[in-house]
Structure 1
Amino acid sequence: MSDRRNFIKKAALGTVGISAILSCDKSVETKSEITGSTEISKGSKPIIISTWNHGLPANEETWKQLKEGKPTVDAIVAGMNIPEADPKVRSVGYGGFPDREGKVTLDACIMDHNSNCGSVSFLQGIKHPISVAKKVMQNTPHVMLVGEGAFQFALSEGFKEENLLTAEAEKDWKNWVEESKYKPVINMENHDTISMLVVDKDGNISGGCTTSGAAWKMHGRVGDSPIIGAGLFLDNDIGAAAATGLGEAVLRTAGSAMVVELMRQGKSPYEACKEIVERIYAKHKNHKDMEYLQVGFIAVNKKGEHAGYSLRSGFNYAVADEKSGNRMEDASFKMSWDD
């Protein structure tokens, strides 16, 4: 664990250069002296928020699509297709770490401002699960399809079966098999989900999640990411939230739905994320996985105010808006990995 913790401490989490697409001079943030995070944000619309540094290229493509007048859900799918297709992103789509049997299984969900939603889980052989989730939402009477049923549906919709296990991921899996020790560490090395929340220029909210799940998980395991109300939830009258980290902890607490409910009660995105992280901590402080537990939330309200908060240090997220461009922001956190 010491190597992981040292890596986190030394990781570069600062602001990055903005995209020319956003036509801004520089990124401007108000930082907390304690954690380096943005605790209070001024409302901005349109705004895109997505987890981790692979959110930057996803935000850029989503922003481009929005500027071209594409529907928000289509823009989200186009943006999230970027990390799904990138073999260097080891926790999403193609190139993602496999389960303990060496099989890459994918989860995704999407939700629009009318509360229409679609989801796939335990999907194999299809590179873009977020695209399949959109088809579930649009072309079926259901919310979720899983496993072989999700795969057959994807084929019927024109998706092609592909081998998602890259040579690099296979090598890492074979190295893991030598010891076969499972530790669900979610940090800068194992980024887990990419979740995205979007408030468009009209104030309508949509969101999505896509992931290959925890590395070396049991075959058949499904985390929070494809579950509406856990990995993602929104109410267009209030706001939206999405999670990253150990899915089991988010599932036990209906995390994202609870963040939205707290915003309904009048709490800011920051206050809502913080309270649910505190709740997760209280529920898990004596849990067997506490040594490795990391959970983070991003949230945005109807005004376009946003925030992130995590249990442990090391969580950051990408934000794109008209004023400050496409940049990384560091989440506030309850504790460091050394606590």
Structure 2
Amino acid sequence: MMTKYLLFMVLYGSANSYFVVDAGYRTCDMFPVVLNTWAFTEATEKAWETVYLRNKSAVDAIEAGCTTCEKLQCDGTVGYGGSPDESGETTLDAMIMDGETMNMGAVGALRRVKSAISVARHVMDYTDHSMLVGDQATRFALSMGFKEESLQTETSHAIWKTWKDNCCQPNFWVNVSPDPKTSCGPYKPNPKKHAFERTKQKSVFSEKNHDTIGMVAIDFKGRIAAGTSTNGARHKIPGRVGDSPIPGAGAYADGNVGAAAATGDGDVMMRFLPSLLAVEEMRKGESPGAAGEYALRRIAAYYPDFVGGIVVLRKDGEYGAACHGLSTFPFSVCTQGSNKATVHNVTCMR
């Protein structure tokens, strides 16, 4: 079945004078740029302050921006006190990638430590590993001086209790008994069902349950970086790790080309590495907007109901975005001419 996709109009020009074209948002000269998913303007402006006013690196900007969202609990999808899993616990995923060195650090299912993006930065800076997960990631964080504390709040507990009182709906179980559409389990594999019989369920992701801040940035030296932070899918099965900390899925940066960061239905999106796909399309000469659209088009060919968005930044400062399954997708930008973030909205493909 052929799916129809809608391209979006874009801006082009200097920070003080733009005109409409169909290629991407672009700054005229090499200059710092900060770009992130959703209208998380406080995070954008903190990253901008770091990379522009303080003349820090793109990696520093990513850490500062994502940390801001962790503290503000952006939309309840980033940081502590949001997206409880089936047991009521909030766990965190994050990654940071340096496009200059192609080094990265990530944490998955991080427990009882709030500063997920900074722990990921410590994995990158102080180990030869790329990712640590679960309680072992927590132990690493504590050894690096991070504080151990509960990530549960009254709000997250209330979300979890409401879900339990609603027969644990929705959830992420399939091909099990008792019926996960009417029961909280415990579940056992159903030998009468097979993977090919699986019924596709409507995505639980939306504008307010979208899983992640994804951020990309360029600094004054032209170095590019990318990162993510999230508390994952609400009511996930404990131990679940989504796309956010996976390089090429949640985010990707290549100093020779550019960077991208994705958000949305992570269990689907991680199977296609959309951030890597977008960067590789730019390597072939595509504009950031077209590269992002291509990456999402690849997913929609298999999962036409998936929900997600992507922001894409080329090494020369041109940027764009694409989305699928929502009405619109807001993303935030800071660049030359203003210390305030601008929110753009892209009309999504369906």
- Normalising by structure 1, what TM-score? 0.83
Amino acid at match of 2:82: G
Root mean square deviation of aligned Cα: 1.8
Q: Report the equivalent of 1:81.
A: 67
Structure 1 window deviating more from structure 2 (172-181 vs 121-130): it is: 172-181
- Percent sequence identity is 39
CA offsets per residue over residues 265-315 of structure 1, 9 Å max, x none? 000001111111111111113xxxx3xx20111101011000110012231
Q: Per-residue deviation at 1:181?
A: 1.2
Q: Distance in 2 between matches of 1:62 and 1:315?
A: 21
Give 1 or 2: higher helix fraction.
1
Q: Report the equivalent of 1:14.
A: none
> Which stretches in structure 1 are left out of the alignment for 5+ residues?
1-25, 33-37
Helix, strand or coil at the partner of 1:181:
coil
Structure 1 window deviating more from structure 2 (87-96 vs 313-322): it is: 87-96
Q: Per-residue deviation at 1:173?
A: 1.2
Q: Report the equivalent of 2:265.
A: 246
Choose the corresponding residue for 1:263, options 258, 282, 287: 282
Contact 2:330–2:346 (CA under 8 A) maintained in structure 1: yes
Q: Distance in 2 between matches of 1:96 and 1:328?
A: 24
> Which stretches in structure 2 are left out of the alignment for 5+ residues?
1-14, 172-202
Once the two structures are superposed, the pairs formed by residues 28-107 of structure 1 within 5 Å of their partners are 40-43=24-27, 45-54=31-40, 56-66=41-51, 67-87=53-73, 89-107=75-93
The answer to whether 1:211 aligns with 2:225 is no
Q: Distance in 2 between matches of 1:241 and 1:95?
A: 27
Q: Report the equivalent of 2:249.
A: 230
The answer to whether 1:130 aligns with 2:88 is no
The answer to whether 1:175 aligns with 2:162 is yes
Q: Per-residue deviation at 1:30?
A: 5.3
Helix, strand or coil at the partner of 2:235:
coil
Contact 1:187–1:315 (CA under 8 A) maintained in structure 2: no
Q: Report the equivalent of 2:345.
A: 330
The answer to whether 1:302 aligns with 2:318 is no
Q: Per-residue deviation at 1:95?
A: 2.0
Q: Per-residue deviation at 1:82?
A: 1.1
Contact 1:27–1:327 (CA under 8 A) maintained in structure 2: no
Q: Report the equivalent of 1:20.
A: none
Helix, strand or coil at the partner of 1:50:
strand
Q: Distance in 2 between matches of 1:90 and 1:121?
A: 18
Task: Check 1:225–1:201 CA distance in 2 against 1; reply closer, same or farther (3 A cut).
Answer: same
Q: Distance in 2 between matches of 1:234 and 1:122?
A: 23
Structure 1 window deviating more from structure 2 (151-160 vs 187-196): it is: 187-196
Q: Per-residue deviation at 1:164?
A: 1.1
Amino acid at match of 1:170: H
Choose the corresponding residue for 1:199, options 200, 207, 218: 218
Structure 1 window deviating more from structure 2 (246-255 vs 67-76): it is: 67-76
Amino acid at match of 2:324: L
Q: Distance in 2 between matches of 1:234 and 1:93?
A: 23
Q: Per-residue deviation at 1:88?
A: 5.8
Q: Per-residue deviation at 1:203?
A: 1.7
CA offsets per residue over residues 194-223 of structure 1, 9 Å max, x none? 010001122210111000011011111111
Contact 2:92–2:230 (CA under 8 A) maintained in structure 1: yes
Contact 1:109–1:119 (CA under 8 A) maintained in structure 2: yes
Contact 1:49–1:197 (CA under 8 A) maintained in structure 2: yes
Q: Report the equivalent of 2:205.
A: 186
Q: Distance in 1 between matches of 2:23 and 2:348?
A: 11
Q: Per-residue deviation at 1:29?
A: 6.0
Q: Distance in 1 between matches of 2:229 and 2:16?
A: 27
